[in-house]
Amino acid sequence: MKKPYRILCVCMNNVCRSPMAEVVLRKCLIQAGLGGRVEVASAATHGFRVGDVCDSKTNLAAQARGYNVTLMRAQKIGWQDFEYFDLILAMDQNNLSNLRRMTTEEQQRRIRLFLDFSEIFHGQDVPDPYLTLGASFDDVLDRIEDGARGVVTFLERQFSAAEATGVVAVDA
């Protein structure tokens, strides 16, 4: 059996942005017919909230758009994740920097900013609605949905190229 492509979405505490990114991306992949080829998970760069459920405001915003985060529990990224996952998506520049400090030069090629794949919000951060004035959970979901669609498009291209070459590349 062929190994699935593995994606990890990462934010600071794994109770808001990265769990939303995980469920949104998973749903987009299923809708595109790629659900069986790609695994998606999420984690935190910090361990402050390990084991906690998603924030109640995260849950309400997700449910309003048809996503379910109620069974998710926060977990911290581990050293083994940098080898296990093919693509690690940071929600913002701060987490991107933290992830790069934890890795080897080889592993850094697997780490990208989530919104690098976005059409509307390309290269921007998915703002933390707790730390960023004016950021709302709806704004966060708008950005995540756009970024997730971009990740799916990227993977469709990569999988098509892989059929010809036999290699799935992380580089866009």
pLDDT digits (tens, 9 = 90+) for 102-153: 999 999 999 999 999 999 999 999 999 877 665 689 999 999 999 999 999 9
Domain presence at residue 125: yes
3-state secondary structure at position 51: coil
157 catalytic residue (yes or no): no
Q: Which of 9, 16, 17, 86 is catalytic?
A: 17
Could you tell me the residue range of the domain that residue 95 belongs to?
Answer: 5-165
With a pLDDT cut of 90, the percent of the chain lying above it is: 79
The whole-angstrom separation of Cα 117 and Cα 150 is 5
Q: Determine the Cα angle at 25 with ends 92 and 38, to 5°.
A: 115
Q: Does residue 76 belong to any structural domain of this protein?
A: yes
Write down the pTM of the prediction: 0.92
Distance CA 148, CA 140 (A): 12
Residue 67 in any domain: the answer is yes
For residue 49, tell me if it sits in a domain.
Answer: yes
Catalytic residue (one of 86, 92, 128, 146): 128
Asked whether residue 172 is assigned to any structural domain, the reply reads no
Q: What pLDDT is attached to residue 163?
A: 79
pLDDT confidence of residue 49: 87
CA 43, 129, 59, 28 torsion-angle sign: negative
Residue 155 lies inside a defined structural domain of this protein: yes
- In the chain, the number of structural domains is 1
Q: Is 11 a catalytic residue?
A: yes
- CATH code of residue 81: 3.40.50.2300
**Quick one: which of 39, 41, 29 has its CA closest to 154?**
29
The encoded tokens of residue 166 equal: 């036999």
In a domain? residue 171: no
- The reply to whether 128 belongs to the active site is yes
**Do residues 11 and 18 touch, judged by C-beta distance below 8 A?**
yes
